Amino acid sequence: MKEDTVSELVRIQHEDFSIDSEVKRVMASSRGIGGVTIFLGAARDFSKGESITGLDFEHYPGMAEKKLLDIRERALKNFDIIEMSIVHRVGKIDIGENIVLIVAASAHRNDAFMACEWAITELKRTTPIWKRETTQKGDVWVSQTP
Amino acid sequence: MKEDTVSELVRIQHEDFSIDSEVKRVMASSRGIGGVTIFLGAARDFSKGESITGLDFEHYPGMAEKKLLDIRERALKNFDIIEMSIVHRVGKIDIGENIVLIVAASAHRNDAFMACEWAITELKRTTPIWKRETTQKGDVWVSQTP
Amino acid sequence: MVTVKFFAMLKTLAKSEGKQYEISSPITVGELKELIKKDFPALAGLIDSRSLLVSVNQEFATRTTVVKDGDEVGFLPPFSGG
Amino acid sequence: MVTVKFFAMLKTLAKSEGKQYEISSPITVGELKELIKKDFPALAGLIDSRSLLVSVNQEFATRTTVVKDGDEVGFLPPFSGG
């Protein structure tokens, strides 16, 4: 696959994304795709007993992108999937807005489910991205997400 | 939840659907949604060694809708999710097109993954919908999907 | 009157969407199947298959479920939605 | 020159995005941490924490990883993306 296609499939960006567009991009890779599992992370208004009014994400430019590319490559190697895309937003994000999208496409659904769940867990574990929550007590860096 | 909101969340229709719109509809139910797992079933060009050029879905009107509503209700009862929507298309569907969409939304991602995977399995098991594949040997009713 | 509905492969084989049966008293699904086999010989093999499901008034039923006047009975080949 | 970068909570505590260090010969990540603790006392508690990860040239590193002239070293609080 061409370099620039991969860089469209794996991105860190400020702007919101469209799930339909991302799925279309992934579907374009093969007519053999029968199951697509998608995980969307969204900004919720409540965390660990605190009411949240907004989020702000920071990343390590360069390293974060590298880690996401690495997750895609390992997913393609370790699961029976056809394609995967990963998009993570940074900057200020309001409650209810999109944060992260993972699209895993395969011939059969089991593989797509497994790869998608693995990828979001791996993203949280290995990708240098940090969330700051705006609460009534002020802005708080979140040191771990489940 | 009002009757007509539920009938928007669970539908059988000929027209294509937009994943973004369906997700928006589900997200509108709560600002506490943090994880959304989505399964999209798409028409692939290959099945059990046969090359497929198109699909045609038939359903049992009334009963199929009832079974989908029942899946949503049981998912809300048995998993820690906030909302679920299910949309299944019927009629002629071209290769690469959308067939079915399940959106499971929860505070945390594990519950959304479990509910979504359970719901698509349950849909295939209990919902009176049938697929006819157009192959080089003619039109063939599919008697079981994995 | 009992409304019998065929779907998918059954509809294709029977070359019919179903049939209405006048019954003088309630009968079982099993008894209804015998009537159908007489009217639609092409369905004889499939209609007794274990993988064929039956619904009465859009709820799953068994061979011994009783069918009354006004009921709708669906004969459902294995599903392939999703 | 070694480029040290702070992120998230570390950046807030240090009130700095990082610092450049002139080193005459290669040093370990552990030795670099000692230099940083002197320059940024506010980081003293966190920088030795087990949950703090360190990267050298954008790859995960350990206390004993060697840092050479031209390297970029990131100090990474626990991630909270996703």
Q: What is the pLDDT of residues B70-109, one digit of tens each?
A: 999 999 999 999 999 999 999 999 999 999 999 999 999 9
> Residue B73: which domain range?
3-141
Write the CATH number for A56. 3.90.1170.40
Do the Cβ atoms of D82 and A120 come closer than 8 Å?
yes
pLDDT band for B146, please (50, 70, 90 cuts): very low
What residue ranges do the domains of chain C occupy? 2-76
State residue B5's pLDDT score.
Answer: 78
Cα distance between residue B131 and residue B43, in whole Å: 11
Mean pLDDT of A28-55: 94
Helices (H), A10-132: 19-27, 63-78, 109-126
Do A71 and A122 form a contact (C-beta atoms < 8 A)?
A: yes
- Name the band, by pLDDT with cuts 50, 70 and 90, for residue A46: confident
A146 occurs within a structural domain? no
* Residue D10 half-sphere exposure toward CB, CA atoms < 13 A: 31
pLDDT in tens, A65-76: 999 999 999 999
Task: Inspect the interface and report whether the beta carbons of B62 and C5 lie closer than 8 Å.
Answer: no
Whole-number average pLDDT of chain A: 94
pLDDT of residue C39: 97
Of residues B75 and A46, which shows the higher confidence score? Answer: B75
Full-model pTM: 0.94
AA letter at B98: N
Q: Are the Cβ atoms of A107 and B33 closer than 8 angstroms?
A: no
- Parallel, antiparallel or unpaired: strands A10-13 and A83-89: parallel
The ipTM of this complex is 0.94
CA distance B43 to chain C (A): 10
Chains that touch D (3 or more CB pairs under 8 A): A
Question: SS3 sequence, chain B?
Answer: CCHHHHHHHEEEECCCCCHHHHHHHHHCCCCCCCEEEEEEEECCCEECCEEEEEEEEEECCCHHHHHHHHHHHHHHHHCCCCEEEEEEECEEEECCCEEEEEEEEECCHHHHHHHHHHHHHHHHHHCCEEEEEEECCEEEECCCCC
pLDDT class of A145 with cuts at 50, 70, 90:
very low
Least confident segment among A43-47, C3-7, C24-28, C76-80: A43-47
**Confidence band of A31 (pLDDT split at 50, 70, 90):** very high
Task: Assign residue A76 a region (left: φ > 0; alpha: ψ between -120 and 50; beta: otherwise).
Answer: alpha
Tell me which chain A residues have a C-beta less than 8 angstroms from the C-beta of D12. Answer: 141
pLDDT(B63) > 90: yes
3-state secondary structure D23-65: CCCCEEHHHHHHHHHHHCHHHHHHHCCCCCEEEECCEEECCCC
pLDDT at A5 over 90: no
pLDDT at C2 over 90: yes
Give the Cα separation of C80 and C61 in Å (integer).
19
How many independent structural domains does chain A possess? 1
**Is D in contact with C (3 or more beta carbon pairs below 8 Å)?**
no
Minimal-distance CA residue of chain A relative to D5: A60
Which residues of chain C lie closer than 8 angstroms to B129, CB-CB?
Answer: 79-82
Report the alpha-carbon distance of residue D31 to residue D24 in Å, rounded.
Answer: 13
pLDDT band at B145 (very low <50, low <70, confident <90, very high): very low
Question: What's the pLDDT tens digit per position in B17-57?
Answer: 999 999 999 999 999 999 999 999 999 998 878 899 999 99
Tell the CATH superfamily of the C2-76 domain: Beta-grasp domain (3.10.20.30)
pLDDT value of residue B1: 59
Question: According to the model, what pLDDT value does residue A146 have?
Answer: 41
Residue of C nearest to B41 (CA): C82
Strand ranges (E), A16-67: 35-42, 46-47, 50-59
Q: Predicted confidence band at A115 (pLDDT cuts at 50, 70, 90)?
A: very high
The pLDDT score that the predictor gives to residue A137 is 86
| Residue B146 domain flag | no
pLDDT at B48: 79
User: Which whole number is the average pLDDT over A45-64?
Assistant: 93
pLDDT of A12 higher than 70: yes
Mean pLDDT of D32-59: 96
Does any domain span residue A90?
yes
How far apart are alpha carbons A103 and C79 in whole angstroms? Answer: 27
What chain A residue is nearest to D46 in terms of C-alpha separation? Answer: A143
